[in-house]
A and B are shown apart, each in its own frame.
Chain A
Amino acid sequence: MAEATIFANQTQTLEPFKGVKKVTIEEYFSSGHRTCQGCESALVMKLMVKAAGPRTIVLGSTGCMYVANTTYYSTPWVVPWMHTQLGSSGSAALGTAAGLKALMKKGKMKAEPINVIAFCGDGGGADMGLGAISATLTHKEYNSLILLYDNESYANTDIQLSGLTPYGAHTTFSPPGTVKRIIHTRWKKNVAGMLAAGHPECRYVATVCASYAVEMMNRVRKALTIPGPTFIHSLDPCPKGWDYDPMLSHELGELAIETGIFPLYEVEDGVVKYYGKTKAIVDGRKRKPVREYLLKQGRFAHFTEEDLAYFQAKVDEMWEKWEMPGVVAFRKQPGAVPSVN
């Protein structure tokens, strides 16, 4: 029982990889999947579990990363893996962590830190499953990581718009027509910011992009080392849904950051820290115009100059008028000293 008591809220020790050459060569998401060529979400899976290592249980909610990855007879998962329902990544993480904790505490299982990671798509995570994720982030006594891989559509069901699909994008539920050019007029939800702001006892929330692989893996490692529930939001270019040549996947990820559309930051114990190119932008580097990013993708091919200007203005607003650029969407009080930088 002594061992079990010590375990309490212990997490794994996972030092950050100091450079790409220090990254371990073992793969825990191997061959056998059948995602599209250039699928960044599949890369996120691979990097995520590489960072986590072998003492890990992965739970995946319905979506491309389930259907296209985990086909009977050809699973790519080397670690234990289990499907969970579309809206259940939060509950899956919580239930698995609670089960392990109960058994270890009661001496019914060997006490050791086991990573619990649940992933969900933007549809499952930001729409249907948001309530369960939110609930899980309030249960500070259970260690888990929820990773939302955001390909900006319900991709698996043939590219329908989700709460995280960018304004105006052409999806099968928002086709541009002769009378209505833009059907999807909603602005993307700010999931990571909302979850960080709304769950004061969740100790770690971060955004990542697999175009910056080592940084991404180190965020996963950090999330797994911090006790309690943690959350990571990754932006994943999707050649099929975004309609571009698969060889551009990495470049599009970089452009999303460089245009400031998707800021990279981590909120650790309530402190916001920007990193990578985003930090440079916060420090004064010019953002690339959003058109460079948007016009590379077929889903925005119907955009007029006016649409591009609207999009740019919304992104500008996020950087210039938000209490914390790209993170906290409250307007700065006129005349007040900005709280960041």
Chain B
Amino acid sequence: MAVATRPAPAAAVLEEKEMLISGSEAVAEALTLADIDVVTAYPIRPYDTVMQAIAKKIANGKLVAEYIVAEGEHSQFEIVKHASTVGARVFCGSSGVGWMYAMEAITVTPALRVPMIALVGNRALDDPGAFGVEHNDALSVRDLGWLLCWIDTSQEAFDTTLIAYRVAEDRRIFLPIAISADGAFLTHSQSLTRVPPKEWVDTFLPPYRRGDLLLHPDNPITVAPQVNEDWVIEIRRQNNAATERAYTVIEEAYADFRRIFGRGPENPWFEEYMTEDAEIILMGMGTLSLPVKVAIRKMREDGKKVGLIRLRWFRPFPHEQLTRALRRAKAIGVIDRDYSFGSPFGSGVVATEVRAALYNAEHRPPLIGFICGLGGREVTLEDVYKLTDICYAAAKAGRAERGTYWLGVRE
């Protein structure tokens, strides 16, 4: 696809600056450079920190955008959905029950091919009232046609936001993307982040063009007419085809990101940590990676060959890439910061997906699910040692004794 919108200026003049910012602030930096046009806000912790950051940008003239404080999350999502259909680049988001309150509006967005970007500051679903992280809020859009990814650091928050617009607004895709950020652990925690000059961002991210789908008096189309039963299946299939094309488009976007910014992962789909020779591969999403990596380093000192795969993209699900990466493992431990009551083996959502992905694989090591760190509870090194031991036992026996373990639960 055509990318270059302006000639790239001499690299010597322009360079990235380094900032100590939180995940939410990093998203706001990216939104400013992406020059979003309409943004809506509604308070709920922890996602609201991104709106506070954007509000400051707007107040200080760093970003020119229509900034609308809505009267609820449903309206928040509906407002940006409609703004996007007339050609505006838009953003909004939510957390926990706020995300669920917007669900009807969230549901219709992919079917309308609205390439909006939303942030889910992951939060447990009330009741009981809880502010800590759980992934069930974001996972609720799993089957709705949204693309869905998880971020781990402020840098990844910044980079992924730009990449998300690039992917979503690609005419081959035109689907919304939800970026998931662990509540507090990422939304509120600062880390050093490299922020590139606007010129580089402009080269990476072309302007949003709705083309023949633009709602405008010069293009008098009818959007979302009432279709009878005999058309729904075709529409769903078109959405599915767009999702499938995302495998290619996402890889292209990351390659281009590396070309223009000179950094970024080779593998968009997941981060691999010490997996080359790993006997046990642990898997998870988001900021979980920090305690797991520390635990792995300690276990390596004891001669245990443990590695980590941290999933970045959950929709589309990188099943082929994963199958390849898991080829050598003797056992797999999937750590879910979510739950799926009554699912096969009482697993979390990620464990169920990985199991399904491996079904056609030649090598199918035992897979054990771990429900861990719900409601923002800390995932401790002890937890990781314990679950690794369970994985080793399964590796030795050649089969998992149980499908799922809940860890760190008060008995």
Contact = CB atoms under 8 A, between A and B. Distances in A.
Interface of A: 54-57, 59, 66-67, 70-73, 75, 77-85, 87-88, 90-92, 94-96, 98-103, 105-106, 108-109, 114, 131-132, 134-135, 139
A71 B71 CA distance: 32
B219 interface: yes
Given A80-B219, A88-B74, A103 B37 contact: yes
B78 A91 contact: yes
Contact of A102 (B88, B104, B220): B88
Interface stretch (B62-70, B147-155, B254-262, B345-353): B62-70
B31 to A, nearest CB: 13
B207 to A, nearest CB: 7
A94 to B, nearest CB: 5
Contacts of A108: 37, 87, 207
Q: What 5 A-B pairs come out closest when comparing CB atoms? A: A95-B82, A99-B83, A91-B78, A95-B79, A99-B88
Identify whether the interface residues of B are mostly helix, strand, loop, or mixed: mixed
Contacts of A96: 82-83, 85-86, 215
A128 B278 CA distance: 55
B100 interface: no
Contacts of A90: 75
Interface of B: 35, 37-38, 64-66, 68, 70-72, 74-75, 78-88, 90, 104-105, 108, 207, 215-217, 219-228, 231
Nearest to B78: A91
A27 to B, nearest CB: 13
Given A70-B222, A99-B83, A135-B70, 20 more contacts: A57-B216, A71-B227, A77-B220, A77-B222, A78-B220, A79-B217, A80-B216, A80-B222, A82-B85, A87-B74, A88-B105, A90-B75, A95-B82, A96-B83, A99-B82, A99-B88, A102-B37, A102-B64, A106-B64, A132-B78
B166 to A, nearest CB: 18
A73 B227 CA distance: 9
A99 B90 CA distance: 9
A105 B215 CA distance: 18
Contacts of A78: 220
B66 A80 contact: no
B226 A71 contact: yes
Contacts of B108: 85
